Structure 1
Amino acid sequence: MHVGPDDHLTIGEVIRRTGVSASALHFYERKGLIFSERGGANQRVFPRHMLRRISLVIVAKRLRIPLSDVAEVFAGLPVDRAPTHKDWQRVSRRWKKQLEERRRVIERLEQELTGCIGCGCLSMKACLLLNPDDALGGRGTGPVRLQQPDTTP
């Protein structure tokens, strides 16, 4: 029996294959992350290629990537057919840029934490916690040094 990417799966089959609950699938569908159709007896069926989208949503959630970011990336994929290799390449290039920026932010945080914990605050001139006259307050809220792009070469 040949199984193709445009074959359809019942919601029960999708749950069994992905481990995602029916309520989560409905939620992802409302958010525009996945799509279903109505099959016989008005039953919800999913094109098999939605399994890849669901898998990427699962991974994104584990990495704490907001679903709005996932939806933005998925907006570049067709919903009426299985995405081609070219479609996935285009989308992955876009997502790669976002992931690289996340990685840079995490690496900066790691450097800041390592430096702060390891310094023992022996040098108040180099300490990144030092903020004379609340100079950083004018640059925004929260940890502005970590939120802003790194401008060091």
Structure 2
Amino acid sequence: MIRYTLTCADGHHFESWFQSADAFDGLAARGLLSCAQCGGAGVKKALMAPRVTTHDHPPLEPSLIPAQVPPRALSEPANKTEEMLRAMRDHLARNSTYVGGRFAAEARAMHLQESEARMIHGEAAPDEARALIEDGIAIMPLPFIPPDKTN
């Protein structure tokens, strides 16, 4: 595994792990890399300086290493976009019922007034979602994975 510091065409800096240098090159050549902050293309390696120590030269004192982005807890949002997505996910968790794979059936039942209207979220196959939209049932995809579906 290798970790690269990357930058996008808009100047955002972020890090990502790759199986190898060849893996990064292959993904970049096929245009499969996008910015972790804005989703933009044009991702390339940023200038990096490896920290190599030898017996003759001990590592630099931490106070002599140039300051970079201050460390943050992994549970803290890295930017405004992550902060807004977290707030949206928290609001959904507090005010909506997760119905899983029954989403299309539940949404249709509420639309037909066969069940009480309430806020729900869940999963629907593309053809189910398309049928709901064609029938005038207002739905929208969520910009995140439900918490119980993440690692």
Fold in common (TM above 0.5) = no
Larger helix proportion of the pair:
1
Larger strand proportion of the pair:
2
Structure with bigger RCO (C-alpha 8 Å, 6+ apart)? 1
TM-score between the two structures when normalised by the length of structure 2: 0.29
